Amino acid sequence: MSLDPMTLVAILAMAIATYATRIGGWLAVRRVVPTGRARAGLEAVPGAVLAAVIAPMAIATGPAETLAAVITVICSLKLPRLVCVAIGVGAVVGLRAVLG
């Protein structure tokens, strides 16, 4: 198995871009203390990003994944995140076995 040099360059470029984005964000806000609406907005970002990543996949893949996503969302209203992740994974496995 060989490694194409262009593949390695692409991987390194993506790693540098990811690191630069993370460091750039940290440098931009390290001296700013958000308050009020800005703080509430920043606290909502992780959930919004997660929903934006998962929702299209959950809807486009099949009924087992869609139902598992719904179960996980309902679970997340009352239980800790790690428990919901485990329930979501279990729901996908179980529903795929039942629904095919």
Q: Does residue 93 lie within any of the structural domains?
A: yes
Q: Does residue 80 lie within any of the structural domains?
A: yes
Share of the chain above pLDDT 90, in %: 53
Q: Does residue 91 lie within any of the structural domains?
A: yes
Whole-number pLDDT of residue 79:
94
d(CA 71, CA 73): 6
Q: Flag whether pLDDT at 74 surpasses 90.
A: yes
pLDDT digits (tens, 9 = 90+) for 28-59: 878 888 888 988 888 888 888 888 988 898 88
Q: Does residue 39 lie within any of the structural domains?
A: no
Provide the whole-model pTM. 0.57
Whole-number pLDDT of residue 25:
83
Residue 68 sits at the vertex; the CA angle it makes with 66 and 71, to the nearest 5 degrees, is 115
